[in-house]
Chains A and B, each alone.
Chain A
Amino acid sequence: MKKCLHCENPLLNNQINFCCDGCEAGYNIINNSGLSNYYLNRITDSKISLKPELNQEDFVIEDYCQISNTNLKTINLVIPAINCGACVWLIENLLKRQESVVNARVNLTQKILELTWRGEFDVGKNLINLINNIGYKALPIEEGYIKEIEQKFNNQIFKALAVAGFGVGNIMLFSFALWFDSNNEISGITRQFLYILSSIIALPVIIYSGRIFFISAYRSTIKGFPNMDLAISIAIFLATIVSIIQTYRIGSDIYFDSVVMLIFFLLIGRYLDFKARKKIFNITSEFSLLQTTFGRVEIEGRVTLVPSKKLKKDMVLIVASGEKIACDGEIIEGETIINNSLISGEIIPQNVKIGEQVFGGSINNGNPIKVKITKNLNDSLLSKIIDIIAKIEFKKNTYVRIADNFSKYYTPAVHLIAFLTFIYWFFYQNDLWDVALMKATAVLIITCPCALALAIPIAQSLAIANFVKNGIIIKNGEVLEKLEKIDYVIFDKTGSITIGEPDLVGVYDITNQQFIQLNLDDLTHQKNFSIAYNIAKFSTHPIAKSLTKFLEKHVDNKDYKLKTELHQGSGISANIGVDSYYIGNKEFCNIDFKFDKIHHKQDDFQSELSCFFSSADHQYLFMFKDKIKENCHELIEFLQEQNKKIILLSGDKKIEVERIAKLTKINQYYWQKNPVEKAEIIQNLKNNGNKILMIGDGLNDAPSLALADISLSFAKAVDLSQNIADILIESDKLSAVIYLMKFSKITFKVMKQNLGIALIYNVLAVPFAIAGYIVPLLAAIAMSSSSLLVTVNSLKLNYKNKL
């Protein structure tokens, strides 16, 4: 099949090189700038459309710009379509060829363009339009947001790690000489010189890199919950003091190298943790930045993009077909069909007219409409749900992570042993106090949770990276530990178990009050269905879309010349010659069909979606059902094997919930539950000590997601649910959930093994430390070997990821 030269969408027969004028214009811009190599080098992704949009987005550029003293203006734009090096090259080079551009730099990781230009605001606007014209839709980001990212993810840990690495490497230079000087061949003065050099390197490193632990220890202590960092800080502090004394006395054991090495290893663990969080932040911010962050508002006759935070009462929103409505409001112009499935779980779209209410988060499936905002954002439906969630989160007890649990017993035990060691050597063996203190310090250093601090972060960051590769985003590492302990898995219906779109299940010939089910494969050569296809393809109604999708595969004539007319809320009519055709509801098609005729099946049909089709000679009934997602049965079976209890929790009608429950073999199900009732059911289960995994995507699931121990949502879900969920699945495939469960189990096992390794090493080493046999060389060997062992053990995760 031929493809559009610019956006690579398939071409229709009558098109030569481009699918639309926009693409042709974009292609010409790129070619005329001499940047056509872009097309050779780019990596296209079918999920990303590069089709330039004809109606340019308009926003108040003044609100987003920073202006320098020399009147240069800078704006940050997020460009979601950027996915490869060629995109970066194209955008940067195209912009740099413009007279006014001072600098243009794309951050490929964050998909953010920083653009600086000279001149008026309008010049900048033209530059942004230029990017839009080549198919890269650019949206402005507020300056505060960029600052927030920078503050949250500053490079402190990275820098501290670099400094500690420098320290380790250079102190080792002297330590190697000292370690292997078993016959005391180095003279006292040289020895002291080397000690002093070590301290010159070590002290700044300890202060600079160690402050990460000191600050954390201090903060946790004044809060009354001393953490592991307090133990680390004490060990660092004591070892440093002892080493300074030994340097002064030209003693034998200085621990500068051990302390710096300790800081280095601990910081590796912190850094891995930090990196994983940053990666996840980048991915999730990409999601959330691009959805309903903007509403298109008409201000003084001009259409402007306004961030949803700034939407106010009485503004007029313009909602195009296929767009999400940004805020609750009342329709003041137009008539359309609204898809509420994300709000209520109902998949049958709703017809709305002037004067009716619509809710923020619903999708406009029909005509463009104008909506007057009737409520401020903080008393909309959305914010009411946010309030419920806030109350839940407040009550939610925090999970104690396995490492914290471990250190709760470990830290006091270690300090007690060190203290007893001091007592023993000082009082019973009559050592000098500093010799005894040194032995106690040796205990603290050898037990310092070096491998322990690496045990969890290494396994976690490897697992998270692997999940990301498989389209699963784990927003917080606790989840990997908690998944193991889940008792109940609770599913929302629409969008979680089912696709949330109608799917054709049957075609019936109902001419003259008969009721004959047609074989779906026999439709192929019937003229009537070819016509039905050609009519239905003009509508954006979910049922018509589903009908088109089905008939596309079955009919042969796809190009009937016909005149169609859309009747909002009822159906579509068409004329071919003198014959009239109707697709739509019963009244619209003028069909007098009584469902009681098939009353033995009536129950079945009530829950379904239907649409009628009347041609010149025949009348048909199409039946649709919400289709269950692929792999659903596999997932349910898998969960049952794992002895998890499964509940279906839906806001939909009884009959439909029952049908899905039967099909999926879920025995426990609830219907017509509102968000609060859903949350109550979960609370009850929780009160009985159960751990809950909630899978849901709608606004009505949001409180339940917040309440559950672990929450899982899909990339298609409403923003709020995405924000709350601990786990996000990029596709809507349920097979990802199976992968998640299996792989997190392996990860958890590796974490436990790592903790075991760290503990065994300590148990073996502590007696030697108490006995005073540990010299700095042994401490260094023990520390690095145990860390290495934990790392190697974690690497298993990279090989076990193909399940």
Chain B
Amino acid sequence: MNVLIFLIPLTLIMSLLGLLAFLWCTKNKQYDDLDGSSKRILFDDDNIKKS
């Protein structure tokens, strides 16, 4: 069972990273416009030439 001492903190650290990533996204307003994001994914990435 000693392996738990290593594995459990590892799990926790990994999930904590996930949580931090999520909070970071929230802070960057990535959840502010869910309607827009659902459409935006369909846009083609074309190279925009500045005129």
Contacts and interface: CB of A to CB of B under 8 A. Distances in A.
B12 A99 contact: no
A106 B23 CA distance: 22
B39 A84 contact: yes
B41 to A, nearest CB: 9
Output the residue of A84, A98, A109, A163 with the most chain B CB within 10 A: A109
A107 B23 contact: no
Given A97-B51, A99-B50, A190-B4, A163 B36 contact: no
Contact of A155 (B5, B15, B26): B26
Contact of A89 (B22, B26, B43): B43
A259 interface: no
A506 interface: no
A106 B35 CA distance: 11
Contacts of A110: 33
A158 B30 CA distance: 12
Contacts of A88: 36, 39-40
Contacts of A93: 48
Contact of B1 (A109, A158, A166, A190): A190
Given A155-B31, A158-B31, A159-B23, A193 B4 contact: yes
A756 interface: no
A206 to B, nearest CB: 15
Nearest to A107: B33
Interface in A347-404: none
Nearest to A87: B39
A535 to B, nearest CB: 48
Interface string B13-51: 001101100110011000111111001101100001111
Given A107-B32, A110-B33, A201-B12, A85 B1 contact: no
B40 A163 contact: no
**B interface, size bucket:** 20 to 34
Contacts of B35: 108-109
A162 B11 CA distance: 17
Contact of A96 (B8, B23, B48): B48
Contacts of B36: 85, 88, 106-109
Contact of A85 (B8, B39, B48, B49): B39
A757 to B, nearest CB: 31
Interface residues of A, number: 29
Contacts of B27: 155
Contact of A170 (B11, B40, B49): B11
Interface string A155-173: 1001100110010011001
A158 B50 CA distance: 38
B28 to A, nearest CB: 11
Interface in A145-194: 155, 158-159, 162-163, 166, 169-170, 173-174, 190, 193
Given A89-B39, A159-B26, 10 more contacts: A88-B36, A97-B49, A98-B51, A108-B36, A155-B31, A166-B15, A166-B19, A174-B8, A190-B4, A201-B12
Contacts of B5: 193
A170 B26 contact: no
A432 interface: no
A133 to B, nearest CB: 15
Interface string A109-149: 11000000000000000000000000000000000000000
B40 A85 contact: yes
Given A110-B33, A190-B4, A201-B12, A158 B26 contact: yes
Contact of A173 (B11, B23, B26, B34): B11
21 contacts: A88-B36, A88-B39, A93-B48, A97-B50, A97-B51, A98-B50, A98-B51, A106-B36, A108-B33, A109-B32, A155-B26, A159-B26, A162-B22, A162-B23, A163-B19, A170-B11, A170-B15, A174-B8, A193-B4, A193-B5, A197-B12
Interface string A767-803: 0000000000000000000000000000000000000
B37 to A, nearest CB: 8
Contacts of B15: 166, 169-170
Contacts of A174: 8
Nearest to B5: A193
A158 B15 CA distance: 18
B43 A109 contact: no
Nearest to A156: B26
Contacts of A109: 32-36
A158 B32 CA distance: 11
Nearest to A278: B32
A98 B49 CA distance: 9
Nearest to B41: A85
A99 B51 contact: yes
Nearest to B16: A166
A142 to B, nearest CB: 19
Contacts of A108: 33, 35-36, 39
